[in-house]
Amino acid sequence: MGSATGFLDTARKENPFRDEAARLGDFEDLHIPNSGEIRFAQASRCMNCGVPFCQSDFGCPLHNLIPEWNDLLYRGQEREALNRLLRTAPFPEFTGHVCPALCEKACNLESSAVTNRDNELYLIETGFARGWIQPRIPAARTGKRVAVIGSGPSGLAAADLLNRLGHSVTVIERADRPGGLLMYGIPNMKLPKNLVERRIRLMEQEGIAFELNTEANPEELEGYDAVLLCGGARRPRSLNAEHMDARGVLFAVDYLTAATKAVLSGQASEASAEGKHVIVVGGGDTGNDCVGTALRQGCLSVTQLEMMPAPPEDRTPSNPWPEWPRVLRTDYGQTEAIFRQGEDPRIYETTVRQIRTDEENQVAGLETVRLRRTPEGKFEPVPGSERELPCGLLLIAAGFVGCEEKMLNRFALQSDARGRLMPADGSHHLTGKLFSAGDMRNGQSLVVRALADGRDAAREIDSRLRRVQ
């Protein structure tokens, strides 16, 4: 275990954010990494608990060996710590940036939890900087070919493990760059895209083939021994309003994709918020990413509408530790909006009633209305609460309702009532040589869950391929 009194001697210290004024001027990383000395001291706070909740089902879905690598990090044995981390975590540079750190919410130290996410990021970046991360090419090949459809975190994690197990893997991706929502969805300031590209280059050196700009076609997959569908849960929930086809009305992922393409090309975004009043429908994490992006693009104002009431500031008795705390969080984008506009951009219990358009079918404003719950638990508008808001860009970040119809039709598959390709027996096997993983199987979730599910699917495919000679 780290220092016997580490958690008493040292306060929790996360990697600090760059201040708002600086970070709003670019799309660079939100954080400044702390030094190695600080990380060693932070690792000393881990108490190697008898029941390490951080590692349990309440905590890390990858079941990372957190107390073990924290202890090694505290002792300055960074390379051993990294090797221990890599036993379960395929891409710590992704989770080290974007994971909501379920392990920290489940940590026995509760609100002063060990900084596991920053510690893992330190370990992997130290590994890259010191040349410890080298391509790991399998010593022998099994002769089996696996196609992975979709290059998001689930597809990448599955491809990585299948390749290590000796299978020949081709990742087929319809976008022009690999990474799924890691590339086009999560903004650059939250996950710099050079990190995604660095990992893809490494995977190519390890023998994985990437076919980009390619829509999966079942007829072209006949030569493969197994096909893993990792197409995500990308069908967005829409609004029940007229003029959804107006110019300036966009789904969040389309807007964020255009923003990242602009950052990577150095050109202006084809859907920029510059000089516009922006309204984001949806108060969640995707909406927050839209807020941060719109502010960086130079919007006139940004407002976030949320149907639900504001969550409580503290845990309620029905939501005890070590469960994920369902409490009010103010994320980076909202903090930036408060800095720029002087108030929280979120308006709760409110929705869009009408989209106003001009003579060129461009969105020009919104009528919003407040909502209240009926005794039956339904939402109803509050009479007289209508309000007009100016709007030049309306972004819909109201969640996702499952995987895309196109993929289902092409493969002659049917999703369940929640739009998922979840096999009834809880496995990853759909039919014949088809498997599913990630958000496509489980519904929209988290990067770390997609990674864990991709690895589980890879193990299942491997054991089937080894049985069938």
Ligand X SMILES: Cc1cc2nc3c(=O)[nH]c(=O)nc-3n(C[C@H](O)[C@H](O)[C@H](O)COP(=O)(O)OP(=O)(O)OC[C@H]3O[C@@H](n4cnc5c(N)ncnc54)[C@H](O)[C@@H]3O)c2cc1C
DSSP letter, residue 225 = S
Residue 114 is a binding residue for ligand SF4 (CB under 6 A): yes
Specify the stretch interacting with ligand SF4 by CB under 6 A; choose among 62-70, 189-197, 288-296, 405-413.
Answer: 62-70
Q: Does 73 bind ligand SF4 (CB under 6 A)?
A: no
What one-letter code names the amino acid at 391?
C
Q: Is 66 in the site for ligand SF4 (CB under 6 A)?
A: yes
Q: Which is nearer to ligand X, 163 or 286 (CB)?
A: 286
Instruction: Quote the tokens at residue 317.
Output: 């008795």
From ligand SF4, ligand X, none, which one binds at residue 114 (CB under 5 to 8 Å depending on kind)? ligand SF4
Binding window for ligand SF4 (CB under 6 A); candidates: 11-19, 113-121, 210-218, 276-284: 113-121
- Pick between residue 50 and residue 342 the one whose CB is nearest to ligand SF4: 50
Alpha carbon distance 252, 233 (integer Å): 14
Q: How far is the CB of 41 from ligand SF4 (least distance, A)?
A: 14
Nearest in space to 117 (alpha carbons), one of 92, 144, 84: 92
Pairing of strands 209-211, 168-172: parallel
- 54 binding ligand SF4? (CB under 6 A): yes
The strand pairing partners of 250, in sequence order, are 395
Minimum CB separation of residue 2 from ligand SF4 in Å reads 8
Residue 358 DSSP SS3: coil
Among 52, 96, 282, 402, binds ligand SF4 (CB under 6 A): 52
**Does residue 165 belong to the site contacting ligand SF4 (CB under 6 A)?**
no
Residues making contact with ligand X (CB under 6 A): 98-99, 149-155, 172-175, 180-181, 185-186, 190, 215-216, 230-232, 234, 252-253, 256, 285-286, 289, 407, 438-440, 444-448, 450
Please name every residue paired with 281 in a beta bridge, in sequence order, or none if there are none. 305, 396
- Rounded to whole angstroms, the Cα distance separating 161 from 155 reads 10
The item of ligand X, ligand SF4, none sharing an interface with residue 53, based on CB under 5 to 8 Å by kind, is: ligand SF4
Is residue 375 reached through a cis peptide bond, with omega within 30 degrees of 0 on the bond before it? no
Nearest distance from residue 129's CB to ligand SF4, in Å? 25
Residue 374, judged by CB atoms within 10 A of its CB (0-12, 13-18, 19+), counts as exposed
Residue 377: which residues within 8 A CB-CB, separation 6 or more?
Answer: none
Of ligand X, ligand SF4, none, which one does residue 180 interact with (CB within 5 to 8 Å by kind)? Answer: ligand X
Which H helix or E strand runs over 297?
helix 285-297
Helix or strand (DSSP H, E) at 390: strand 387-390
Asked if residue 48 binds ligand SF4 (CB under 6 A), the reply is yes
The footprint of ligand SF4 on this chain (CB under 6 A) covers a number of residues equal to 16
Cβ 450 vs Cβ 98: under 8 Å: no
**114 vs 407, beta carbon nearer ligand SF4:** 114
**Alpha-carbon gap, residue 41 to 44, rounded angstroms:** 5
- Which of ligand X, ligand SF4, none binds 234 (CB below 5-8 Å, type-dependent)? ligand X
End-to-end CA distance of the chain: 46
Q: How far is the CB of 440 from ligand X (least distance, A)?
A: 6
> Which of 64/170 has CB closer to ligand SF4?
64
Minimum distance of ligand SF4 from residue 8's CB (angstroms): 12
Q: Phi and psi (nearest 5°) for 264?
A: -70, -30
Partner in contact with 110, chosen from ligand X, ligand SF4, none, beta carbon below 5 to 8 Å by kind: none
The stretch near ligand SF4 (CB under 6 A) out of 105-113, 246-254, 262-270, 330-338 is 105-113
323 token code pair: 């469960």
Query: Closer CB to ligand SF4, residue 47 or residue 227?
Result: 47
Q: Please, are residues 423 and 217 in contact by the beta-carbon 8 Å criterion?
A: no
Phi, psi of 176 (to 5 degrees): -80, -10
**Which of residues 77, 80, 83, 109 is near ligand SF4 by CB under 6 A?**
109
Which is nearer to ligand X, 82 or 252 (by Cβ)?
Answer: 252
Q: Which is nearer to ligand X, 174 or 243 (CB)?
A: 174
**Contacts with 188 (C-beta within 8 Å, 6 or more apart), sequence order:** 27, 28, 260, 263, 264
Give the list of residues 6+ apart from residue 386 with CB closer than 8 angstroms, or none: 353, 367, 368, 369
Least distance (Å) between residue 47 CB and ligand SF4: 4
Other C-beta atoms closer than 10 Å to the C-beta of 103 total 29
- Whole-angstrom Cα distance, residue 174 to residue 67? 40
Q: Should residue 338 be labelled a site residue for ligand SF4 when binding is judged by CB under 6 A?
A: no
Choose between 189 and 366: whose C-beta lies nearer to ligand X. 189
Residue 241: count other Cβ atoms within 10 Å of its Cβ: 17
- Candidates 49-57, 428-436, 439-447, 449-457: pick the segment binding ligand SF4 (CB under 6 A): 49-57
Judged by beta carbon distances under 5 to 8 A according to partner kind, the member of ligand X, ligand SF4, none in contact with residue 256 is ligand X
Residues that bind ligand SF4 (CB under 6 A): 46-49, 52-54, 66-67, 70, 107-109, 113-114, 116
